[in-house]
Amino acid sequence: MIPVRCAAIIAGGASRRMGQNKALIPINGEPLVTRVAKVLRPLFSKVVVVTFDFDIARAAALPAIEDEVCGRGPLGGIHAALRHFNAPVFCVACDMPFLNGPAIEFLCAQLKDFDAVLPRLENGEASCAEPFHAVYAPSCLPFLEAEFARERVRPVEGVLGAARVCFVEENALRAFDGELRFLRNWNYPHDACADGFAIS
């Protein structure tokens, strides 16, 4: 049994780059958020969608919760999920069509005494974390709430700079999918086209 029982689909974005609501894009006859929810339900006893759009929650057949702190982007979604559950939460963006259940279980199993568990990928000479396919403990709340007091919110990696973060490296993640498709997200129509799906 994985130590994380709760999950949240973060679906509060405006989808401006996509030109339509990403969560409701039809994929093989079902909305993308439905596809995401189907992967999460067998893994977690409690799943919610963080959104102001109740059509998205209905498409996922899941309860909706809203950001408690508005205008803070996806960080506000993570914060809302942690405040709602007051327990560790797997948080995932609504625009990831190829989620991998065993990979999610593996990430959750790494939480232990950490505040968060994030995948980290190589990007040339640098590396980048994927904060919206990650696990967060309630101990992250003070870091998030301190960030909300800033005029401009930083990326998650900066927010959690003083937290105990477990980064799961690319070589460990490739054991679940050599192409790391489960970490792909769709921001533009051409992202979907590259994966063989036409967005109208």
Longest dimension (CA), the chain: 45
What the block records as the tokens of 173 is 């993640």
What the block records as the tokens of 61 is 């057949």
What SS3 state is found at 126? strand
Determine phi and psi for 150, rounding to 5 degrees: -80, 155
Q: How far is CA 19 from CA 16, 24, 186, 187, 189, in A?
A: 5, 12, 12, 9, 8
CA distance 26 to 22: 9
What the block records as the tokens of 198 is 């036409």
Superfamily of domain 6-194: Spore Coat Polysaccharide Biosynthesis Protein SpsA; Chain A (3.90.550.10)
Per-residue tens of pLDDT for the chain, all 200 residues: 578 999 999 997 555 554 457 889 888 889 999 999 999 999 999 999 999 999 999 999 999 999 888 778 889 999 999 999 999 999 999 999 999 999 999 999 999 999 999 999 987 555 789 999 999 999 999 999 998 888 787 888 888 988 999 999 999 999 999 999 999 886 655 565 555 566 65
Q: How far is CA 130 from CA 12, 48, 82, 180, in A?
A: 17, 20, 18, 12
Question: Can you give the pTM of this predicted structure?
Answer: 0.91
DSSP annotation of 135: E
